[in-house]
Amino acid sequence: MTAESTTSEIAAYMERAEQSIQAARQLASSGYYDFAASRAYYAAFYAATALLLSEGVELSKHSAVIASIHQRFVKTGRLDKEHGKTLNWLFELRSIGDYGGVAHVSSQEAEQAIVAAERFAECRFWPQDKAESAGATNNSCPTVQGLTGGASLCLENRKAFTASLCLLLPLPIDAIIKVHSGVV
C-alpha cells in the first residue's frame, strides 16, 4: 500500500467513525439503544483500525484489532489505559446489543457508549511548532504520549461531529494540510 493510499484508507475509516457516531446518536434518540451501542462500538473500532493502519498494521478481525491496540499503544503508554478499557467495554456492550437475547442496552448505557466512542476517536494532538504554523488552536492531547517524530492527521468536522479526529501518522506537514483541507 502506498503512502497516499494508506492516507486515503485512514481518512475513509475516520469518516466511517464519524458517521457511526452520528448514526448512534440518531438510533439512541429514536429509542434503539441496542443498535446505538453497536454503532458506538463500530466508531471506536474504525478509529482503532485507522490508528493501526497508520503504523502499517492491517487487521480486520475485531479481536485482533483490540489486542493490537493494547499491545502497541496501551501497554507502551502511547495511549491512555482508559482508552483501552473503553474499547473493551464498547466491545462487550456491542455484544449485548447485537446478541444479548433478553438482555438489552439501557438508554443510559447507550448514551455513555456514544460519549465513550467519541472520546476514543478524538485526539487534538499536533506537534507544537506545526500546530501553530497550521493555525491550530488546540494542540494538546493528554492521552497520547511518547511520540517520536511525524505529525498527526486531523480530519476536521465537516458535519455535526464535535471533535477533531486525529491519528498519529508519520507524514510531512504539507501532506497533512492537504488531507486536513480535503485535497486528497
What is the mean predicted confidence (pLDDT) over 88-94?
Answer: 97
pTM for this model (two decimals): 0.70
First and final C-alpha spacing in the chain:
16
Dist. CA 25–CA 115, nearest whole Å: 10
Give the whole-angstrom CA distance, residue 16 versus residue 7. 14
Q: Fill in the DSSP letter of residue 72.
A: I
DSSP 56: T
Residue range 110-114: average pLDDT? 97
pLDDT tens digit sequence for 38-65: 999 999 999 999 999 988 999 989 999 9
Q: How far apart are CA 99 and CA 85, in angstroms?
A: 21
pLDDT band of residue 4 (cuts 50, 70, 90) is confident
Which pLDDT score is estimated for 69?
94
> Any idea which of 77-81, 114-118, 138-142 has the lowest mean pLDDT?
138-142
Rounded mean pLDDT, 16-43: 97
Domain range list for the chain: 3-180
CATH class of this structure's domain 3-180: mainly alpha
Neighbour-count burial of 146, counting CB atoms closer than 10 A to its CB (0-12 exposed, 13-18 middle, 19+ buried): exposed
